[in-house]
Amino acid sequence: MGRLARLFLFATLLLAAFATPGRAEPVLTVLYTGKTFGKYEPCPS
């Protein structure tokens, strides 16, 4: 289940990066935040 989530996030990141190169950075930030939230303790917003 964890691997599927990571694979899905990775695929989404690649898709977003290819679809909109200008938005690669925001997507990376969102992906990193989601990954951190899933693996470690949620960071206070």
Can you give the pLDDT at residue 44?
Answer: 53
Can you give the pLDDT at residue 19?
Answer: 65
Q: What is the dihedral of CA 14, 5, 29, 20, to 10 degrees?
A: 20
Distance CA 32, CA 10 (A): 11
Can you give the pLDDT at residue 13?
Answer: 75
Query: Whole-model pTM?
Result: 0.37
Question: How do residues 1-45 score in pLDDT, each as one tens digit?
Answer: 688 888 888 888 777 766 665 555 665 666 666 655 555 455 554
Q: Which of 24, 23, 43, 25 is nearest to 34 (CA)?
A: 43
Contact 24, 17 (CB under 8 A): yes
Number of helices (H) and strands (E) in the chain: give both, helices first. 2, 0
